Amino acid sequence: MNHPGKKASLWIILIAGLISSIIFSTVVGSAGIPFPDVCNALLSKLPVLNKLAGPVPATYETIIFQIRLPRILLGAMVGAGLAVAGTVLQALFKNPMAEPYIIGVSSGACLGATLAFLTPISSGWFGSSWVTLMSFLGATVTLYVVYNISKIGGKVPIETLLLAGIAVASFLSAITTFLMVQAGEDLHKIYFWLVGSLSAKGWAQVEVASVCVIVGIFVLYLFARDLNVMLTGEESASQLGVEVERSKKVVLAVSTLVTGAAVSVSGVIGFVGLVTPHMMRILVGPNHYTLIPASALAGSITLTLSDTAARMIFSPQEIPVGVVTALFGVPFFLYLLRKRRKAMF
């Protein structure tokens, strides 16, 4: 916090990184679009700068705005949401193993999505949004149930929350598995939804995800100081003037809703929410005023690039984006972990 120069360069790197990964991902694809056309197309949609934009062929415009860009922006939003949710939950649980799915939201979302696939509505015009809606509902209900199970005399002990989350998640996963076995021809669809994918998503999902993620991150950022102080222990935090139970409740609810929104538009994408916060903590330290925005940007970059890799490596066949995040991210993370040789957390 005492090195403004270092801090400024960090922001420049992260923001430039995000912009260039968006442009790069738009350029790359089965139908190659020249770099100038991508730039012109993107510029034309920006205020003020659109006067500089040159003409773009209509087919390119369609590919960029109907196929690639929604997918890329969705990836950026989901990545940011998961990374920030992971960051604050690790702080709240004071546990490096914490991740966005820790209290069972993903299992709830999966069950919701599975139920949605098994109802006739899913094949109608409303299908895609129906699945999104149901999985979001599943996530929310799970949060509500786990929270209330853990509540003891007006307080929510973190350990109880953790255990209740794991228990409820196992229970819901069992139901989901049972339903999948019974699913018959829908099994394939359900499975691909569960492993997480950003493909074939439209602007509707981008809008939903953007609103949830941006509002969510903003609210969590308001709790940055509380989170910092709570890292020194809940008792100390309370003695330093933090309303611990209230902050815990809000942070938990908001981060879980952000996660629920992310899962409902993209399925369960692992790794981003677990490891991005750790990487950023190594780079910028534990102060949430810096850590939350840094994680958001890093999460966006990670997921945007991973998704591009997922659709390019075995093109035209796609591999699940979660596979890519793990295959490339984990070795890099382990490298950072070893290089640092200090306590991580």
Residues at the site binding other proteins, with contacts judged by CB under 8 A:
1-2, 94, 222, 225, 228-229, 231-233, 235-236, 238-244, 281, 285-287, 289, 343, 345
Q: Which is nearer to other proteins, 202 or 286 (CB)?
A: 286
Residue from 29, 10, 18 nearest 303 by CA: 18
Min CB(344)–other proteins separation in Å: 9
Min CB(243)–other proteins separation in Å: 5
Strand partners, 155: 152
Q: Which is nearer to other proteins, 83 or 110 (CB)?
A: 83
Q: Which is nearer to other proteins, 83 or 231 (CB)?
A: 231
Min CB(342)–other proteins separation in Å: 8
Q: Which is nearer to other proteins, 84 or 262 (CB)?
A: 84
Q: Rounded to whole angstroms, how far apart are CA atoms 173 and 246?
A: 30
Min CB(93)–other proteins separation in Å: 13
Q: Which is nearer to other proteins, 126 or 345 (CB)?
A: 345
Min CB(253)–other proteins separation in Å: 18
Min CB(91)–other proteins separation in Å: 8
Which amino acid belongs to residue 266?
A: S
Q: Which is nearer to other proteins, 87 or 132 (CB)?
A: 87
